[in-house]
Chains A and B, each alone.
Chain A
Amino acid sequence: QSALTQPASVSGSPGQSISISCTGTSSDVGGYNYVSWFQHHPGKVPKLLIYEVRHRPSGISNRFSGSKSGNTASLTISGLQADDEADYYCFSYTSSRLGVFGGGTKLTVL
């Protein structure tokens, strides 16, 4: 199972919006709605931001939103803040009842 494809890095200024894409296939992202997004500050524990494509867990800011079109899922962060600087990973269920992460995207807040 190959890793899902994410851009290696994205950047934005405080207050701006950015989007991170996550491209898979019809056997994972495109075929199921079990796509999650995690924020990971180095040295800390990954944090669930979005589950099942577009749902936010309790306590997660509405600045974070998720969507999907075809084989590509996207995470959008609006109103960028300094603390948003972190690594972001998508994760998907696959047709083999396995899981697969994206390669990760480093977000820099300028």
Chain B
Amino acid sequence: QVQLVQSRAEVKKPGASMKVSCKASGYTFTDYYIHWVRQAPGQGLEWMGWINPKSGGTNYAQKFQGRVTMTRDTSINTTYMELSRLTSDDTAVYFCARAFSAWNCDSWGQGSLVSVSS
């Protein structure tokens, strides 16, 4: 069955970077885009961007341009989302999601809580 398994929770200092991984199994990794979405405490879902695992092509929400980098390693069916220059506003649960037809997110990772605190 389709599974997306994300890295464990992290605590980061302001100004540091974070890198969350998302390992896919149960399907052909390069056939589906991966989107990254976050949810800050008490807030709604926020779209961050996508990566095409086949080409490595990416597109990021304007809010995160210059701070976010999404990459993939096709040898281990894993995508990564790196966010730099962290502030307390980046404290959130980060989700990866598989998307068919590029935009339909049908399977989600379990979420990775990243807390940013001094």
Residues of chain A having any CB pair with chain B under 8 Å: 1, 3, 34, 36, 38, 40, 45-46, 48, 51-52, 57, 87, 89, 91, 93, 97-104
Inter-chain contact A45/B105, CB cutoff 8 Å: no
Determine whether the beta carbon of B106 is less than 8 Å from that of A98.
no
- From B44, B108, B109, B110, A101 is in contact (CB under 8 Å) with B44
Instruction: Pick from A45, A48, A52, A93: contact of B95, CB below 8 A.
Output: A45
* Binding-face segment, B7-15, B22-30, B45-53, B75-83: B45-53
Q: Which residues of A contact B46 (CB under 8 A)?
A: 101
A38 touches which of B45, B50, B110 (Cβ 8 Å): B45
Q: How far is the CA of A38 from the CA of B35 in the complex (A)?
A: 14
Contacts of B47 in A (CB 8 A): 91, 98-101
Tell me the complex Cα distance, A38–B50, Å.
18
Picked from A3, A48, A52, A102, the residue with its CB within 8 Å of the CB of B105 is A48
B residues apposed to A, CB below 8 Å: 35, 37, 44-47, 49-50, 59-62, 95, 97, 101, 103-106, 108-111
Q: Complex: how many Å from CA A52 to CA B79?
A: 25
Residues on B with beta carbons closer than 8 Å to the beta carbon of A38: 45, 105
A89 to B50, CA, bound (A): 18
Of B45, B97, B101, B108, the contact of A104 (CB 8 Å cutoff): B45
Can you list 17 contacts pairing A with B, beta carbon distance less than 8 Å?
A: A34-B103, A34-B104, A36-B103, A36-B105, A38-B45, A38-B105, A40-B45, A45-B111, A46-B45, A46-B105, A48-B104, A52-B104, A98-B61, A99-B35, A99-B47, A101-B44, A103-B44
Shortest distance between the CB of B47 and any CB in chain A (Å): 4
Within the complex, the shortest CB–CB distance from B36 to chain A, in Å, comes to 10
Q: Could you say which residues of chain B place their CB within 8 Å of the CB of A102?
A: 44
**B62 is contacted by which of A1, A3, A101 (Cβ under 8 Å)?**
A1
Residues on B with C-beta less than 8 A from A101 are 37, 44-47
For the complex, give the distance between the alpha carbons of A101 and B47 in Å: 7
